[in-house]
Amino acid sequence: MPDGKDRFQRLKQLAADTHDHELELRLFAHETKAKRFHSLKPTNPLHWPGLVLNFAYEWASDFGQSVLRPLGWLLMTVVCALFAYETMTGRPDMLGRGLIEFSDAAKVAAVANVFPFAGQAEIGREIMTTGLCPMPEDSAERLDCLTALYTISAVEGVFGLIFLFLIGLGLRNRFRIK
């Protein structure tokens, strides 16, 4: 007797054969959910990464069916990075200000680093390092500041890449591009 995953897989194939793209996407989501605890057992620690990715894929993009979810997460990534960069300026009254009142260097860093490779452009790096790490070149404080700056930049870039991919996937699925 076939299980839920196999049944959804067969229904998905029938939807693909009849060119019903929306139904195919919905059935893919159901098939992936059915696979969670059938193929990926929570009692087996080797399956935990797969389960985490399965839940994250649903949570972040509704299995590639949503454009707004990853867009919201991308904007949240920029805002979180903006707060992280602004803490590097040493201004403690950050929560009492509007986003428009943040330093220009923090804004440039937050927006540039969300796009892969854009934050590593020469101009972006120069604005970030001079605006956020204005210490003397050979000081230990500057090295610590640059380490924090590039760590935040790398984490933001990874999340940016993931959410940009999910936005593209959602657009592809929305407009039935194969």
- Whether 105 and 58 map to the same domain: the answer is no
Q: Which residues of the chain have pLDDT under 50?
A: 1
Residues 114 and 51 occupy one common structural domain:
no
**pLDDT score, position 119:** 56
Domain that holds residue 91: 71-164
Whether residue 85 sits in one domain with residue 41: no
Number of folded domains that form the chain = 2
- Averaged pLDDT of the chain: 82
pLDDT of residue 10: 74
Which pLDDT value is given to residue 1?
37
| Same-domain check for residues 58 and 94 | no
Instruction: Specify if 171 maps to a domain.
Output: no
Contact 28, 12 (CB under 8 A): yes
H or E element that contains 108: helix 104-112
Contact 74, 81 (CB under 8 A): no
Contact assessment for residue 81 and residue 160, using Cβ atoms and an 8 Å cutoff: no
* Last residue within a domain, chosen from 43, 64, 85: 64
Whether 158 and 78 share a structural domain: yes
Q: What is the pLDDT of residue 2?
A: 55
